[in-house]
Amino acid sequence: MSETVAIGTPRPRAPRPEELDLKFSESAVAELDALKTHYPDLKSCILPGLWIAQREYGGWLPPEAIAEVAFRLNRSFAEVEGVATFYTMYNTAHKPGRHMIEVCTCLSCHVCGAYRIVDYLEEKLGVKLGETTPDGMFTIHEVECLDACDRAPVLQIGDQYVGPVTSEMVDKILDDLRKVETPSAVQLSDAVVKVHLRDGDK
């Protein structure tokens, strides 16, 4: 069952350097080393470093992941945590379900029935926005414009956009996702890391 954290719960304290149990794989360290060469100031490498960490830690950024990025980039924990908690695509509050379904409810999607999709998802999965199903399979979130308004209403699952989506399509989407082992947040994080590596090589 996935962990839930009440709003307002203080985050655990930062691990001390001597407590670090580094989890980056060899290939992740190699990726970070390659990315470091793209930036004269390692502060700029915090964002891609966090994407690597989110992938390596299974789709979220517990304090240990933030501490590892800080350690590997020689930054302070507070500086890296400040970046991680500013951007909503980094999962810092708790580990999401295996699949994160993000529903755009901004203007175009709203007009085209996004809340019908929200209602349908909530009913099918028995959870509300921001919650994870008891089996840890799905987390549903409401997000701002995904810049795919021509496909409204749109869902984001990993690095894939699905739209225009209908309630009838939701059942098949859920069935298909149940067969996918890789967590959406891991898949998305890996895709973003690859973009950073590719763009830096241009």
> Least distance (Å) from ligand FES to the CB of residue 74?
38
155-157/99-104 β-pairing:
antiparallel
> Least distance (Å) from ligand FES to the CB of residue 162?
11
Sign of torsion over alpha carbons 142, 145, 149, 151:
negative
**Cβ distance to ligand FES smaller for residue 63 or 113:** 113
126: left (phi over 0), alpha (psi -120 to 50) or beta: left
Integer Cα distance of 170 and 122 in angstroms: 11
Contact of 173 with 140, CB cutoff 8 Å: no
Query: Which residues make up the interface to ligand FES (CB under 6 A)?
Result: 104, 106-109, 145-149, 152, 154
Integer Cα distance of 153 and 139 in angstroms: 18
**Cβ distance to ligand FES smaller for residue 146 or 192:** 146
> Least distance (Å) from ligand FES to the CB of residue 27?
34
**Cβ distance to ligand FES smaller for residue 152 or 188:** 152
> Least distance (Å) from ligand FES to the CB of residue 130?
18
3-state secondary structure of 39: coil
**Cβ distance to ligand FES smaller for residue 135 or 147:** 147
